[in-house]
Structure 1
Amino acid sequence: MHLFKQLTQILTLVGALAVTGLTCFPAQAQNKGDEALLEMAQAFRKNDKARLSALLPQARGHVLEPLAAYWELRPRLDTASESEIRNFLTTYAGTYYEDRLRTDWLLQLGRRRDWATFTAVYPYYRMRDDREVRCYALVTEAINSKANVTEEAKRLWYSLREAEDGCTYVAEHLHSGKQINGVDLWRKARIAMDANRPAPAKAAVDIEAPRLSEQVALIHADPAKYLDKRIIAITRNRKELAVLALIRLAASDPDKAAQLLDHRWEIQLSAEERNWTWAVIGKQAAQKLQDNASSYFANVRKDSDLNDDLLGWKVRAALRMGQWKQVLSATQAMSPEARKDPTWTYWQARALLATAGNDTAQKQEAQNLLRSIASVRGFYEQLALEELGQSITVPDRPVALTAPEKSQAQANPGLQRALYAIGIGLRAEGNREWNYSTNLHTPGGMNDRELLAAADLACQRQVWDRCINTSDRTKEAIDFDQRFPMPLRDIVVRRAGEIKLDPAYVYGLIRQESRFIMDARSHVGASGLMQVMPATAKWTAKKIGLTSFTPDQITDKEVNVAIGTGYLKLVLDDFEGSMALAAAAYNAGPSRSRNWRNGPVLEAAIWAENVPFQETRDYVKKVLSNTTNYAAILTRQPQSLKSRLGQVGPRNKALVEVNTDLP
């Protein structure tokens, strides 16, 4: 009852603040309960159990009491009684923290191999987003119902980058029951070694060949030394160790790995081992933008021996060299799940068109693929629209939200707790509760209309990241006002106009950088709306004449926009107006972007898909997609993503001099 009373008070405050046009809650403590919560946040990070227990009484009756109680119980979960845990789950039933603690408890039960309790608790687990918990559940399903869980177990195990107990245990269980074999185990070791993760590689080898698993660390440390050994008539397991060594060597020197494979090891490996190893060498060469990457992939005789990651890099290498037949064969070999990704749907369609000749059926297949993804939702969806001869325009707004729909969102306890947490500075905790409350697999999960109403609530409170992320999840309805908001429009448009910078490009970048969180700060120290690094801010301030700039001003909205746009303009000019190259430089640094442009002249979409860093690759595509949609909003005219992309190739040094001073 006390929680309901407190929530009613919060809802009243929310309404009052909405009338005044203020953000939901200022980012500072409003009362002693808030102060206690903020102190508990610090104590939780320090694992200070005594301090957490001492502070908890001060948080009783607070709207965020479920969070406080979770913080107090979680560090001592391993010693808490089952009755205390179940009492917590009952007291805070329906909240994010009920299910968060249940997740933690299930992980603990799995590590203890307490399958009876795990089996009893698991059906009430609603988030279903923890892969290790799911792996433990697969163990119980295999034991209790003799279910065939092999394919799901392998998929989960292969996708984990660390040596987590749950998925390793289910692999051991299935191996002992002869449901997975040595090829499956060695494939996991290869994936882990390719990802520079020796621990999960060793864990996989431990299952199949425990006497050889110590070799994994030696191979990871010095693969060349291992490969220099004169091993002949080697066993299957030792051949697989050689594959691991070649994979590890390829990360630093794909050409040397290729030479060793070609002249010494290929004859000793199986066809599957050769195909995988050549593909990894091709992938590493492609990530270094070597022109011979596609020639390494050409040694793969059977694409079905590869996983989706290797096939993706085969596509990228082939695109870079204009080899459309290889693009087509690689995309067709991908799993059904991968082929649903708009990235590979688009390139498969392009490859079908490029190789169709007079084959009308193949052309029709390409058109069908393009139609299946064409929309304004993202980069490849927009490109598909243009391939079909359409422009990017602002979609019709959904039917306006009704008062009851808005009221339902305003009365949602999880959303209000989330807003309160964000308002007092507990943004990460608030984001998690918000996401949980809007997620479809939780009780009362939201449909499109409910998501629009929740996004509207966040927009009204100026919690722009929750507004955007929530609206982005609608399946049918698309509300551009929510998905592409324009806070500080006067400031951004005015500043962009002063320096002759497209305001749509500025907004496209801010949306990706900070989601319009004014005090955003990255793990590397970038700050504010445009996520400017301190040294870059100082350098840019001098360049644009902000002589009185001090570091503490970087989160001031006017100053941040001035410095961020000033730097972006300098970067764009240095890259001859290429939005794709400038976006890559803004994210990864100008020197990397300069190196990445060397090579053949490419469609910018092909160039962007070949950016070696996944974060930057996604960033460039999202910034350019955002920009195109913002341009449609700002101009109310049809737009083209392709025209913004253009082509990317080496700098014409005779015409444009490199700005070596650019940080």
Structure 2
Amino acid sequence: MSVSTSRLFQFIAPLMVWICLSAQAEPQASSKELSQQNKPTTGISNQRQLLQQARIAIKYGNKKQLKQLKAKLANYPLVPYLDYWAIGKKLRQLPLKDIDRFLAENQGTAVGDWMRIRLLRELGQQRQFQTYLKYFQPEKHKRAALRCYYADALFRHGSKDNADQVTTELWLVGHSQVEECDPVFARWKRNGGLTQEKIWSRHLLALEEDNLELASYIARKMDKPFQQRAALLREVHKSPKLLLNYPRFLQSPEHHREIILHGLHRLAREDAAVAEQAWQRYSASLLFNDKEQANMLRHLARQFARQDDTQGLLQLTKNHTMDDGYSIEWLARQSLRELDWEQVAFWIDRLPLERQQRDRWLYWKARSLEELYGKAQSGAASLLYRKAARERSYYGFLAADTLGQNYSFVDRPAPITPIQVQQMAQHTGLQRARELQAIGELFHARREWSYATREMDHEELLAAGKVASAWGWYHKSIQSVLAADYLDDLELRFPLAFADIVESVSEQVGRQSTPLEPYMIYAVARQESHFSHDAKSRSGALGLMQLLPSTARATAKRAGVRYRRSWDLLSPKTNIALGSFYLSTLLNRFDNNRFLAAAAYNAGPTRVAKWLKETRQRLPHDVWIETIPYSETRNYVQNVLAYTVIYAYRSGTKLQLLKAHEAGNKL
């Protein structure tokens, strides 16, 4: 492929994405009237094609054709992007007159702010620092590269004190800064701004981020006395048990104070019991302040928990007043794992009051009372169960099952009128976001939506959520109701997204493999991605049901689903099919137990098999779930189970949280 052909491909790639997106099945809208009104017509499709032609005209500098196309696109929402792309093509020439006009016309918009950022980058690279100060906005621009240019501009054409302050903030980080900062730091050092104390502080910050390479580099800038302290700090960082040589560090304890604190935190990660003893020894000689003491005790408690050292954590809580809810909850779970109901109640009573009132601990307090006292405390237990059962949640549903009462769904549509929704649908920013989504410019689409909704009030966010749902942009509808803190509109929070695909795949899986209810498919997709078809995790999982390409490839062979490359996982149809078939294989492996399959979907089947082996079929189902070692998996399983019930309700079906074989067997 030639260079020119490669560049053309990059330029028209969004058109290819648009074609792929347009070929996907249209999701159902939550408001038929709004959906019909805003359904893409032949006219809007024609405008999208004209837009792509205009982009190619910009690419090849065909001004006459661009002018003609812009005239045809006069009322199209993405017209500002044509100016954005056209100016961007000649940005190195700094056409400030055109840029000023563009910024004035698009003030406060995503495209306007992004143009300003691109201009600042160009001005910084060309070292046009006086002009840079005209366009830089200190309260908005937080990118390190832009702030380094800003510090340079301030030193040359503004306040040197302000330049020093900005540079100090940029310096005091635990990671390497961008190369744009190098000239600023060099001048700052020549002018005496870089003190030994600041070098020491960054050296410590680097070690707190476990960045030994940077710490070693920073230490070379120190004077000899500081270098010796820094070398000792790095030794302790690598071998924290050096702190057990108490005479060495207590000869001049104040001089070694930061080294001791850093080393104790590192030592606790290796051996919390040893670190706790060392802490007692050092705290007897050094007057650590209240914040340092609280931080160390909290850190020790969590390390005891992570190292499964129940006795160590118990002793720590006995010797010190602990307000760390995390550690107390861990002790309660350990007691659950041992089926020690007296200790379960004991630790729940020591949780902060706010945590005691959560549905989770209301349920477990009631369970402990029943296990300890039976009918003698049935009234108190029932009261706690009733409180928990008011919640639309995993533990709310468990409590309701215990009481034999109906679930509390609390389904209240957002109090928004059709007129408000119609008006919001015409919001310029949302229209731009929708069109950018349609042509495959997903990054710009998300940015436009975020800009448009960032200062909306409660009612506006709910109206935006309704619009997003009607447009089939389900993850934005979910985000909007969460931002509005309105959690009772189940149509928006739990949309029946991609319903045709889900129903079809559920039937197909049932014919080929272990039956899989559509409600569980919805629940997993809702938990995994909020129905964002282009979601990508740090681990490389892709799409609605967050599949790794390796898992997708292996599943496709068994399921007979066409799969060629990871890009295919961005297709809702392919992703839901592969994710559902994989989920059905997990159900088959774990005897059609949905919560074990959900745990395996999140943490992997090998880990789940290991956990089952450790518990030796002695734990009730609710205890097993509550004591899953990974908090992420524990919450994942509970959410998937609760969401499955909610999706059944949304589909007009009544479903129990747990089936008889799931609730009846011990694990």
| TM-score, reference length from structure 1 | 0.62
Alignment-derived partner of residue 463 in structure 1: 473
- Give how far 1:407 is off: 1.8
Amino acid at match of 1:622: N
Determine whether 1:295 maps to 2:305: no
Determine whether 1:437 maps to 2:447: no
Alignment-derived partner of residue 418 in structure 1: 433
Determine whether 1:587 maps to 2:605: no
Task: Please say if residues 289 and 596 of structure 1, whose CA atoms lie closer than 8 Å, have aligned partners that are also in contact.
Answer: no
- Give how far 1:164 is off: 9.6
Structure 1 residues 394 and 570: alpha-carbon distance in aligned structure 2, compared to 1, 3 A threshold: same
Determine whether 1:494 maps to 2:507: yes
- Range with greater deviation from structure 2 (76-85 or 479-488): 76-85
- After superposition, residues 80-159 of structure 1 pair within 5 angstroms as 89-98=103-112
Alpha-carbon displacement from aligned partner over 1:253-296 (angstroms, at most 9, x marks no partner): 23564476379656556576566445323323433555456336
Alignment-derived partner of residue 280 in structure 1: 299
CA distance in 2, matches of 1:331, 1:595: 33
CA distance in 2, matches of 1:302, 1:237: 29
Task: Please say if residues 34 and 470 of structure 2, whose CA atoms lie closer than 8 Å, have aligned partners that are also in contact.
Answer: no
Alignment-derived partner of residue 179 in structure 1: none
CA distance in 2, matches of 1:613, 1:25: 52
Amino acid at match of 1:541: A
Task: Please say if residues 349 and 370 of structure 1, whose CA atoms lie closer than 8 Å, have aligned partners that are also in contact.
Answer: yes
- Give how far 1:410 is off: 1.6
Alignment-derived partner of residue 659 in structure 1: none
Structure 1 residues 318 and 258: alpha-carbon distance in aligned structure 2, compared to 1, 3 A threshold: farther
CA distance in 1, matches of 2:93, 2:235: 39
Determine whether 1:505 maps to 2:553: no
CA distance in 2, matches of 1:619, 1:473: 21
CA distance in 2, matches of 1:644, 1:194: 49
Alignment-derived partner of residue 352 in structure 2: 331
Secondary structure of the residue aligned to 2:599 is: helix
Alignment-derived partner of residue 143 in structure 1: none
CA distance in 2, matches of 1:84, 1:565: 52
Structure 1 residues 256 and 399: alpha-carbon distance in aligned structure 2, compared to 1, 3 A threshold: closer
Q: 220, 226, 243: which one pairs with 2:261? A: 243
CA distance in 2, matches of 1:106, 1:384: 57
- Give how far 1:197 is off: 6.9
Query: What RMSD over aligned residues (CA atoms) do the two structures have, in Å?
Result: 6.2
Structure 1 residues 533 and 354: alpha-carbon distance in aligned structure 2, compared to 1, 3 A threshold: closer
Alignment-derived partner of residue 223 in structure 1: 240
Q: 564, 567, 587: which one pairs with 2:582? A: 567
CA distance in 1, matches of 2:92, 2:231: 32
- Give how far 1:626 is off: 1.8
Structure 1 residues 567 and 93: alpha-carbon distance in aligned structure 2, compared to 1, 3 A threshold: same
CA distance in 2, matches of 1:231, 1:85: 61
Q: 537, 542, 547: which one pairs with 1:532? A: 547
Secondary structure of the residue aligned to 2:602 is: helix
Amino acid at match of 1:430: A
Residue correspondences, number = 553
CA distance in 2, matches of 1:648, 1:196: 45
- Give how far 1:301 is off: 0.5
CA distance in 2, matches of 1:76, 1:385: 65
Task: Please say if residues 344 and 368 of structure 2, whose CA atoms lie closer than 8 Å, have aligned partners that are also in contact.
Answer: no
CA distance in 2, matches of 1:399, 1:242: 55
Larger Rg: 2
- After superposition, residues 229-628 of structure 1 pair within 5 angstroms as 230-236=248-254, 238-251=256-269, 253-255=270-272, 257-258=274-275, 261=278, 267-268=284-285, 276-289=295-308, 291-292=310-311, 294-295=313-314, 297-298=316-317, 301-303=320-322, 311-321=325-335, 322-332=343-353, 339=354, 345-346=358-359, 349=362, 374-376=390-392, 391-398=406-413, 402-439=417-454, 442=455, 445-448=456-459, 450-476=460-486, 478-486=488-496, 487=498, 488=500, 489-495=502-508, 497-498=510-511, 499-518=514-533, 520-544=535-559, 546=560, 550-551=564-565, 554=569, 557-595=572-610, 615-628=632-645
Task: Please say if residues 391 and 408 of structure 2, whose CA atoms lie closer than 8 Å, have aligned partners that are also in contact.
Answer: no
Structure 1 residues 390 and 405: alpha-carbon distance in aligned structure 2, compared to 1, 3 A threshold: farther
Structure 1 residues 18 and 25: alpha-carbon distance in aligned structure 2, compared to 1, 3 A threshold: farther
CA distance in 1, matches of 2:110, 2:79: 12
- Give how far 1:102 is off: 7.9
CA distance in 1, matches of 2:43, 2:398: 41
Structure 1 residues 555 and 77: alpha-carbon distance in aligned structure 2, compared to 1, 3 A threshold: closer
Structure 1 residues 213 and 432: alpha-carbon distance in aligned structure 2, compared to 1, 3 A threshold: farther
- Give how far 1:529 is off: 3.3
Structure 1 residues 299 and 38: alpha-carbon distance in aligned structure 2, compared to 1, 3 A threshold: farther
Alpha-carbon displacement from aligned partner over 1:556-599 (angstroms, at most 9, x marks no partner): 55554343222212223434544444323212322334445566
Task: Please say if residues 327 and 347 of structure 1, whose CA atoms lie closer than 8 Å, have aligned partners that are also in contact.
Answer: no
Gapped regions of structure 2 (runs ≥ 5): 1-21, 27-32, 125-129, 151-168, 179-196, 336-342
Amino acid at match of 1:494: E
- Give how far 1:353 is off: 6.2
Task: Please say if residues 246 and 261 of structure 1, whose CA atoms lie closer than 8 Å, have aligned partners that are also in contact.
Answer: yes
Secondary structure of the residue aligned to 2:432 is: helix
Amino acid at match of 2:552: A
- Range with greater deviation from structure 2 (452-461 or 73-82): 73-82
Structure 1 residues 638 and 574: alpha-carbon distance in aligned structure 2, compared to 1, 3 A threshold: closer
Task: Please say if residues 282 and 314 of structure 1, whose CA atoms lie closer than 8 Å, have aligned partners that are also in contact.
Answer: no
Amino acid at match of 2:332: A
Structure 1 residues 593 and 383: alpha-carbon distance in aligned structure 2, compared to 1, 3 A threshold: same
Give percent identity, aligned residues only.
24
- Give how far 1:411 is off: 0.8
CA distance in 2, matches of 1:129, 1:367: 50
CA distance in 2, matches of 1:71, 1:614: 46
Task: Please say if residues 26 and 423 of structure 1, whose CA atoms lie closer than 8 Å, have aligned partners that are also in contact.
Answer: no
Secondary structure of the residue aligned to 2:352 is: helix
Task: Please say if residues 524 and 640 of structure 2, whose CA atoms lie closer than 8 Å, have aligned partners that are also in contact.
Answer: yes
CA distance in 1, matches of 2:562, 2:286: 66
Alpha-carbon displacement from aligned partner over 1:163-197 (angstroms, at most 9, x marks no partner): 999xxxxxxxxxxxxxxxx9xx99x9999977757
CA distance in 2, matches of 1:520, 1:81: 37
- Give how far 1:508 is off: 0.2
Amino acid at match of 2:110: Y
Structure 1 residues 559 and 452: alpha-carbon distance in aligned structure 2, compared to 1, 3 A threshold: same
Task: Please say if residues 227 and 242 of structure 1, whose CA atoms lie closer than 8 Å, have aligned partners that are also in contact.
Answer: no
